[in-house]
Structure 1
Amino acid sequence: MNQKGFLERIKKQFGDGNYAGDQFGGAAGKDGSGLPIDSASNFMFATGIECSYPTIQHGNVRRDLLRECGHYDRWKEDLGLVKELGLNVLRYGLPYYSIHQAPGKFDWSFADEAMAEIKRLNIIPILDLMHFGVPDWIGDFQNPDLPVHFAEYAGAVAERYPWVRFYTPVNEIYVTARLSAKEGSWNEQLKTDKGFVTALKHCVAASIMGNQQIAQRRNDCVIVQSESAEFTHELLANPSPEIMLENELRFLSLDLLYANPPSASVAMYMMDNGLTRKEYEWFMAGKPPGYQIMGNDYYGRNERIKLPDGSIQTSMDVLGWYEITKDYYERYRMPVMHTETNVFEADIAPVWLLKQWASVLRMRQNGVPVVGFTWYSLIDQIDWDSQLKEVNNHVNACGLYDLNRKPRPVAEAYKTVLKEFGQITIVPHAEMLAITEQPARLKVAT
């Protein structure tokens, strides 16, 4: 008797493919295509609204990019553009300098309106609490009371908006300290190593203490520490001690934040410039509470080439986000997010975005837990070509939308990425992970 094979039997009983249950994915999941969905296991595609507010000209001029780029007047329209793109996640900075008016005194008028709209639109904010500046009454980053004052502010924000889970307490600590106290561009405008170390330790301490206040009120908080991914290439047969130290100092803010002992040369540099042994031991006691994500900001201008004549050239993507971030990941072994990128030239922005996304995919394929990607920012910026040092009102065409809120070509490129990859999970098979209402178990240094 002619026996039929198993495939024929299956076909007769169940049909030729498209079996009942296929639509549910199971352990294999799905291909991840389609616009992002609001799920805790999904990769976080994001944009941000540029919100820097340093002072220049020795404190006489406050650069507030939320004002200069029109967000205070068009905030509802801007938040609508986030949803128009198909995004659910937004890096969003409240203006710390104007909200925290004195110890115990806050002006929530703008923040309440904007946050209510973010909540109404079901946007997940990564709330940025300090972005390159402090309130006038605090002064600058040399003030040793900054960590205490900022902790009060962070706690007040978490108390007022208990539905917020994601935070960046202090944005780009290394850049904040370098431009404020080493290069003399912003705020205290110092050009000293001691000023740099002082600003950096105060900002890290502020981040830690603010993080503690947030965790007291939201014990499942997710802290996305946005920090610049830097590197200087020196074209000398015998590299100079200055550049060798600079390439070590780029890790310093995260070393102190994540209790990672820096190299001996960096430790001696800090001690020579005001860090006490007691302060060092305090930083090394342990990581802050909550779920920590290491956000790496990468612009081509983060990489520099120093020529034999001493001149510095912007190198634009020699190593790129992948290679530089790999250095950071291997140092800290923490989940990674690409938290900022852009270029100032609108015509090459789509290609730049795709290059960054290709780097993210490669990093994920190599087993590094990359959990999100951000094009920064939603709308064009002003005067970042001079690092905000000069009031030129020069538009930087780096936004997904221009200042008239019209889409730039990069917006379409981002939509293409979202449609193809918008539903990939943070890690493969992440849909198997349980979502629980139980309190998070936190590691808190004592």
Structure 2
Amino acid sequence: MKWFEDGRLHFGLGVEDTFIPQERQGERALDEYELTQHYRFWHQDLGLAREAGGEFLRWGIPWYRINPEPGVWKWDWLDRVMDRFAELELKPLVDLMHYGTPTWLDNQFLNSSYPERVAEYSGRVAARYADRVVDYTPVNEPMIHTLFSGKFGHWPPYLSGDDGLVALVRNLSKGFVLAQQNMAAVLGDSAIFTHVDAGFRFVSDSTTGEHEDEIRHLKARSYLVEDLVTGKVDADHELAPWLSRHGMADEDLDWHRENIVLPDVMGVNYYPLHSTELLVSGKPVRGDIADPRDVRNDWTEGLTDVLSAYGQRYGAPVALTETCLTGSYARRLQWLDASVDCVQRLRSEGQNIVGYTWWPVTDMYEWTYRYGTEPLEHYRLTMGLWDLVPDEIGTLHRVKNPVADRFLQHASAALALASSEGIH
């Protein structure tokens, strides 16, 4: 029996693992493991996840470091990390592509060999750790990838507009499929694939329906990569005409319908302060990264919506694979309690929700660090169960805060409930 089939709710954590190593004038490399000093404190950080009651840890591999040149693979550090997971009996849910490609891959996601390159990398990782790791996410938040790199011109390869978005979707989706196929060939029936995307929501303050068409399009677009890889995009799909106008060929859609990969678990990321975008009556429809839409905090109503929608659309068990609230301890505790209660209520109503993930273990740094000039501490986001507190020489000490204790209480209560019900 696989872990998500035992009928109980599993609690886990994540380590922020965004990797955009490419630099250019006015843009710094963005490697969250470097910024948070996880490369230095990884041994401790994994232990903190276990201390807080995490059964699993969403943790990403920096592809650009493991594969620094074509055909060159450096495994020593990763071997030690995987040994530490095993020592702690902490289940790794491995992110293989959490943004960013190696610096040697020209044009990044647009490179004609990208699908084969990411598939080779994924297959090599799966083969090396097949005796201890079976849980993988081929691509974290693929629609964020395609928007930031293809629609907004924000990350390499800096495309913009709908043509750029569709170009990114085409290559990224093919790489997604080939990576999962390669790993499945290595791991066989033991493989567990958690597909993870951002839980986008779009609402309007209009009472006249002026945004109905735009919201329908945006919502359909938010599912696009997952719809492609699961074979849902055909001539009758709502986005088929739009895809065709912006460069997606019939043979691309045919290929996806012939090469379907399905999630064992459908992961959804939801942040109450960011996940619900608001279209405002009388204002131009926006959404470019330089002119973002307004947002609205729909609290657990939004969480209920995205968990329910993904479960219904894809028919797989659902996990909340990222959530948190940036702010004071009191606000974080309020969201932790409310979101856990929401998930438990949905489970009691019959929804098959198998995982809850607080993201991340420690504080992290805003992605705007990449474009900024301020010292690192200016960009710190107070999100974690452990604060990152710099000393006079810049060492980031991990300082436990009350959210860690509350998370442990929730995780322990879930285990106790399962035990009382005879679930192990």
* Alignment of structure 1 residues 395-434 onto 2, 5 Å: 395-403=380-388, 404-423=397-416
Verify: 1:238 aligned to 2:239, yes or no: no
Other-structure match for 1:281 = 254
* Count of residues paired in the alignment: 391
Q: How far 1:196 sits from its partner (Å)? A: 0.9
1:90 CA displacement: 0.5
Aligned to 2:344: 361
Q: Secondary structure at the match of 1:134?
A: coil
The residue aligned with 2:125 is: 157
Contact residue 49 and residue 91 of structure 1 kept, 8 A: yes
**Which runs of 5 or more structure 2 residues have no equivalent in the other structure?**
287-292, 389-396
What is the match of residue 79 of structure 1? 46
Consecutive unaligned residues of structure 1, counting only runs of 5 or more, are 1-37, 432-446
CA contact (8 A) 2:66 2:75 kept: yes
* CA drift at 1:58: 4.6
- The answer on 1:370 being equivalent to 2:337 is no
Spell out the pairing of 1:180-219 with structure 2 (5 A cutoff): 180-219=149-188
> Per the alignment, in what secondary structure is the counterpart of residue 102 of structure 1?
coil
**Given the alignment of the two structures, is residue 250 of structure 1 paired with residue 218 of structure 2, yes or no?**
no
Aligned to 1:259: 231
Provide, for residues 212-237 of structure 1, a one-character-per-residue CA deviation record: whole Å limited to 9, x for no partner. 11111111111111110101112232
1:332 aligns to 2:314 (yes or no): yes
From 299, 302, 308, the equivalent of 2:275 is: 302
- Can you list the C-alpha shifts for 1:45-87, whole angstroms capped at 9, x where unaligned? 1001111012566586320000100100111111111121122
Residue equivalent to 1:444: none
Question: Deviation per CA, 1:361-414, whole angstroms, max 9, x where unpaired?
Answer: 122122221111100001101014x48553542110001111121122221221
Post-superposition offset of 1:137: 1.4
**Conservation of the 8 A alpha-carbon contact between 2:29 and 2:370:** no
1:236-292 deviation digits (Å, cap 9, x = unpaired):
323344343112100101101211236644111111111111110111235326x62
CA contact (8 A) 1:226 1:294 kept: yes
Given that 1:346 and 1:410 are in contact with CA atoms closer than 8 Å, whether structure 2 keeps it comes out as no
Task: For 2:362 and 2:121, locate their aligned partners in 1 and report how far apart those are by CA, in whole Å.
Answer: 27
- Aligned counterparts of 2:372 and 2:423: Cα–Cα separation in 1: 47
Counterpart AA for 1:67? E
Residues 239 and 424 of structure 1: CA distance in aligned 2, closer, same or farther (over 3 Å): farther
Distance 1:124 1:409 in 2: 24
Instruction: Provide the residue aligned with 1:145 in structure 2.
Output: 113
Residue 52 (1) aligns with residue 52 (2): no
CA-to-partner distance for each residue in 1:278-326, whole Å, 9 max, x for gaps?
110111235326x621100001201111212247322122531111221
Question: In 2, distance between residues paired with 1:182 and 1:358?
Answer: 36
Alpha-carbon contact 2:268-2:306 (below 8 Å) kept:
no
**C-alpha spacing 1:326/1:100, structure 2 compared with 1 (3 Å):** same
Larger Rg: 1
CA distance in 1, matches of 2:372, 2:147: 17
TM norm structure 2? 0.86
Alignment equivalent of 1:166, drawn from 121, 135, 138 = 135
Query: Which stretch of the first structure deviates more once superposed, 182-191 or 143-152?
Result: 182-191
Q: 1:68 aligns with which of 17, 26, 35?
A: 35
* Offset, 1:95: 0.5
The code of the aligned residue for 2:129 comes to Y
Structure-2 separation of matches of 1:111 and 1:387: 26
Equivalent residue, structure 2, for 1:352: 335
Does structure 1 retain, via aligned residues, the 8 Å contact 2:271–2:323? Answer: yes
Checking the alignment, whether the CA contact within 8 Å between 1:158 and 1:217 is kept in structure 2 is yes
How far is 1:351 from its partner? 0.9
Q: Distance in 1 between matches of 2:418 and 2:252?
A: 40
